[in-house]
Amino acid sequence: MTEQPILSVTELSLSLKSCVEQVFNHIKVRGEVSDVKRATSGHIYFSLKDKDSVLSAICWKGSSRQCSQHIQEGLEIICTGKLSTYPGRSNYQMIVEAAEPAGIGALLKLLNERKEKLEKEGLFDPAHKQAIPFLPEVIGVITSSTGAVIRDIIHRVTDRFPRHIVVWPVAVQGEECAEQVAAAVRGFNALPDDGKIPRPDVLIVARGGGSLEDLWGFNEECVVRAVYESKIPIISAVGHETDTTLVDFVSDLRAPTPTGAAEKAVPVRIELFNILNTKENILKNALNQTLVESRLKIQTLMGRLPNLNDIIQGFIQKTDDKAERLELAIKTYLSKYAEQTKTIGRLLQSYSYQAILKRGFALVANGSKVITNTFEAQKQPKLQVRFSDGVVTTIPLKINKNKTKQSTQKQPDLWSYVSTK
């Protein structure tokens, strides 16, 4: 009996790996994607499952760019590759080299599920949508830098109302589409108002028509959320009129085609000129009509007014009449009191000290001070004696009183006045 060789664990693992890879070196497997993990290395780890079994799968970095958009949680896909083993865990796994949806139904199922999820979050709420500016100064376009789409948009804008257009080139399908479109939306929003690149007033996200798979990048969550967060209003124009992506639901306005997006972005200049001319003519006619009606009203009112000169002359005549009556009243009043005034004047004159002086009296004073008794006169160094015809200045001279014991007769005070005139 031949003794069976003893294998190490590693030898057995390598033998199994070689056997499996030789037998299953090119296979196609259909299943639902689950447990997707995207490593920083660029590899994608996931599982394929059906109702009874689960198969581990890995898509290396070199193949992930072609497979990434189809390796979506819950999507049923068909993977092409080979079967291999992982000795470190004693399990087998599929090395995926290519992946594609398992029919249009699988993509539609995933699309509907994603739409329902985002709708519940409120990303499609009409209340969140922004108004598109009537006449933007700058239009940002997110699309491929080559092809008919950008040419159609530029041509249409130029025909309608020339504006400054800034293009942010992106891949419009394939693995890089979603990330580039989301980055472009955020990049336009991050532009400063006074930077070298002008910040757009409105954005157009556009691409031409294609299959559901071709347009799939515009159904990715990263794009939908970037559009939702944009502070710049966005017009979506992805595919033809019958094509619908999730970007159409979240954008502020949907256009059926890229050309239609250009038409929604700017008005037609010649139409605006015509509208302005029409309104100008209407305004002029209305103004002229208003002036004519106002002139007629003024003329009618003027016809009802009395003659201004007649009114003024009437007041002048009344003024002259009252002035004459006032003059007569003043004269009558003064004639009434003139005689009384003369009588009072004569009486006042008779009571004046000049009249008294004429009757032989004199007024004794020292300057402005009137002297009324001898005591005051004795104290003055000189006196002015006023008569009716002039003034005499005198110096008072006092004579002392002489009394004898024998005489009991009272002697009068004698004064001597020496004229200094």
In this predicted model, which residue has the larger pLDDT, 147 or 152?
152
Rounded Cα–Cα distance for residues 217 and 178 (Å):
5
**Domain span holding position 401:** 363-419
Last residue of a domain, one of 267, 291, 321: 267
Residue for token pair 């029409």: 278
Residue 236 placed within a domain: yes
Residue 149 placed within a domain: yes
pLDDT greater than 80 at residue 76: yes
Q: Are 418 and 397 in contact (CB under 8 A)?
A: yes
- Does one domain contain both 116 and 157? yes
- Does one domain contain both 148 and 199? yes
Beta bridge partners, 419, equal: 394
- Does one domain contain both 116 and 238? yes
- Does one domain contain both 255 and 120? yes
Can you give the length of the chain in residues?
421
Last residue of a domain, one of 234, 267, 300: 267
- Does one domain contain both 201 and 232? yes
- Does one domain contain both 54 and 151? no
- Does one domain contain both 260 and 119? yes
- Does one domain contain both 161 and 187? yes
Q: What is the mean pLDDT of residues 256-266?
A: 94
CATH number of 208's domain: 3.40.50.261
Q: What percent of the chain has pLDDT over 90?
A: 43
Beta bridge partners, 83, equal: 94
Last residue of a domain, one of 235, 267, 299: 267
- Does one domain contain both 371 and 245? no
Residue 203 placed within a domain: yes
Q: What is the mean pLDDT of residues 180-202?
A: 95
What is the tally of structural domains in the chain? 3
Q: Which range has the worst mean pLDDT, 74-88, 235-249, 394-408?
A: 394-408
CA distances to 225, 318, 353, 358, 419 from 384, rounded to whole Å, are 124, 64, 15, 17, 10
Q: Return the SS3 of 79.
A: strand
Residue 179 placed within a domain: yes
Whole-number pLDDT of residue 419: 46
Residue 288 placed within a domain: no
pLDDT tens digits, 11-55: 888 888 888 888 899 999 999 899 999 888 889 999 999 989 999
- Does one domain contain both 72 and 120? no
- Does one domain contain both 53 and 19? yes
Residue 372 placed within a domain: yes
Q: Are 122 and 128 in contact (CB under 8 A)?
A: yes
Whole-number pLDDT of residue 398: 65
What one-character DSSP code corresponds to residue 123? T
- Does one domain contain both 161 and 48? no
Whole-number pLDDT of residue 116: 93
Q: Are 338 and 348 in contact (CB under 8 A)?
A: no
